[in-house]
Structure 1
């Protein structure tokens, strides 16, 4: 089992590179692995709930459960997950399947059942070195996945939004620096690597948001380059949303076509690491496709880390997601700054301490802020 943080981060993308059990049966290899994590997060909010409306991650309505402070002992950016995979080689093709199931740590009840299961992955892949590989099933999208995998708060908490952490997960820099990559039913193709360059293209099941999804699928693409200590990526996605007719309870909404682009890079030199990415597009949304209609949103993320010792990594991350249009106390931007310390107690167990501040601003000048302290750990098996 690999103990590098980068390898551990890949646990959310597909079958984890780190796994505790390999079972060999003839031509088949079955793998079992996953993670358990929990963090004590204490937050304070400096303005009354509703100061900034919409998906305002720093407003008390979402950040502190409508109060001036909150406590959650729950998951960080990753859910606790069990991943099961199987792979074989048949007639010249490498074939593999993965199922990943996540559960939440925190609930608002001491007696209620915590039975909600988050099935993030359920897919099969087939291919070989000459043709590349094809994926069929449910998995993360291509757009936005690289920044999340590069975010140090993948092993921690980041934006400690109570509305999502209680019953699900925290947000890292999602909604405040980057958009969630999402999980889609999909058919995707990954090309063979050519001088370090890989191309991914995918046809995704369309998303229903504030508008009505069209009959046509969503399209995503990503080009990636990996060299010695350097990675770069560029991505795009597009989907048509049909108009929504008015009803007694819901206002009419015009149709639009979501179109977004992404550019990013990461570099490591000795103990130092940096990451930078920008995403921008019409209908991109704060957390999910089209969650703010046709508004144009731009998200920017910057991060610097320092490997102080073999066991200790220090990091500082900043992210901001900004809308172009709005009125009144509607959301103009979310911003998060997180400083973190990540200590490898063992090769499988990382202890984490983070200080975070999430701020939301409205177009009318209102602002709201959440300050948070998170302490906990994550164990990969």
Structure 2
């Protein structure tokens, strides 16, 4: 059953946070925990502004239509309250999880008062012999290991103003990996054995964001396998879905694979992840049509003191083909200091440079700064 809550558990472990509040109600064990964070971010945009599509470093996205923008809002994670209930009945472990989130920043002083972000609402059923079955809404598998290992998960990464207002920053989403997404799903996880775990899931098909392509008649398929060893972890994933064109016109098939690894040696950590395929999308499934794409993220960290970690990572999302002004690539390099004030509170300072290049022509650039903190409880 532990695999069903891998994302929640990994977030808490990454932050070194205190455990959630646990109490008992009849035969159920209840747990309530959450995340609260806020960051002062500033972006400044320069270079060509003729790059079209999801050019993260452009004035349109990076600086929300201006040469520079200041936002006090969420980092890569939202504010969230997560409740989990567990019990064991007739030889089965049963668990139900509900996560409700909210954004800090908005474009005005009213709109976010009723803006609720529900990313998780699922149940798992299983035991040590059969593994577990998950039913409901949860994060995807493809890209899960990349974003969990990204040091900017606790910070901001690329503080793209267009997404931070009313939602979150992007970390390396769109410039290193595609967002793992949240889906209605039915998933099966094998029993974990010797550090090896494997999950396969049918996801509710989604439409390609910002396009006329739709997912209709067949589910999306995702799978993830991983193996832990002393000082490290390796993983591999895949995803596949057919998109149909409007009015019975030709569609395309999204298909991609992922490989990654992380290693820790004393105070030093290294990680790398690569995704490659067709129709993966810059930010989310299929948003760049049927173009071929490669996403790469590499990272190095140093635990300088028991409380302070320094990190540097670089990522790029690169597309093939396209018209002259279409997006060729987004890249981001981020340097960060992550200071554990307490076991629940992490203070973060990051500087970053995001670059967007067209198929032909000059690039757009965005410099970013972020300072703030995150609390896990």
TM range (shorter): over 0.9
* 2:54 aligned partner: 55
Measure how far apart 1:9 and its partner are.
Answer: 7.0
1:368 maps to what in 2? 364
Paired position in structure 2 for 1:43: 43
Cα distance change of structure 1 residues 112 and 182 upon mapping to structure 2, 3 Å threshold: closer
The correspondence of residues 1-381 of structure 1 with structure 2, limited to 5 A, is: 10-11=10-11, 19-47=19-47, 50-209=49-208, 210=211, 211-245=213-247, 254-381=250-377
Give 1:291 shift: 0.5
- 1:115-143: per-residue Cα shift (whole Å, max 9, x none)? 11110000000101111111000000111
In structure 2, C-alpha distance between the alignment counterparts of 1:8 and 1:346, rounded to whole Å:
19
Q: Aligned to 2:60, what secondary structure does the other structure show?
A: helix
What is the CA distance between 1:328 and its match in structure 2?
A: 1.6
Question: Is residue 135–residue 186 contact of structure 1 (8 Å, CA) maintained in 2?
Answer: yes
- Would the aligned equivalents of 1:283 and 1:297 in 2 still touch at CA under 8 Å? yes
- Does the 8 A contact of 2:112 with 2:166 survive in 1? no
Partners of 2:125 and 2:328 lie apart in 1 by 44
* Structure 2: stretches of 5+ with no match in the other structure: 1-5
Alpha-carbon contact 1:144-1:180 (below 8 Å) kept: yes
Q: Is the 8 A contact 1:9 1:155 kept in 2?
A: no
Within 2, Cα distance between the matches of 1:269 and 1:67?
44
Task: State TM-score, norm by structure 1.
Answer: 0.93
Deviations 1:92-118 (A, max 9, x none): 111000000110000111244521111
**Counterpart contact for 2:39–2:75, Cα < 8 Å:** yes
Distance in 2 between the 1:352 and 1:17 partners? 15
Q: Does the 8 Å contact 2:103/2:112 carry over to 1?
A: no
Question: Which aligned segments of 4 or more residues in structure 1 are displaced greater than 6 angstroms?
Answer: 6-9
Structure 2 counterpart SS, 1:179:
coil
Distance in 2, Cα, partners of 1:184 & 1:372: 31
Indicate how the Cα distance of structure 1 residues 129 and 162 shifts in structure 2: closer, same or farther if over 3 A, else same. Answer: same
Contact (CA 8 Å) 1:107, 1:114: kept in 2 or not?
Answer: no
Task: Give the whole-Å Cα distance in 1 for the aligned partners of 2:61 and 2:196.
Answer: 40
Residue 291 of structure 1 aligns to a residue in which SS? coil
In 1: Cα distance, 2:342 partner to 2:194 partner = 36
TM-score normalised over the length of structure 2:
0.94
Q: Distance in 2 between matches of 1:112 and 1:299?
A: 34
Find the residue that maps to 2:246 and give its secondary structure: coil
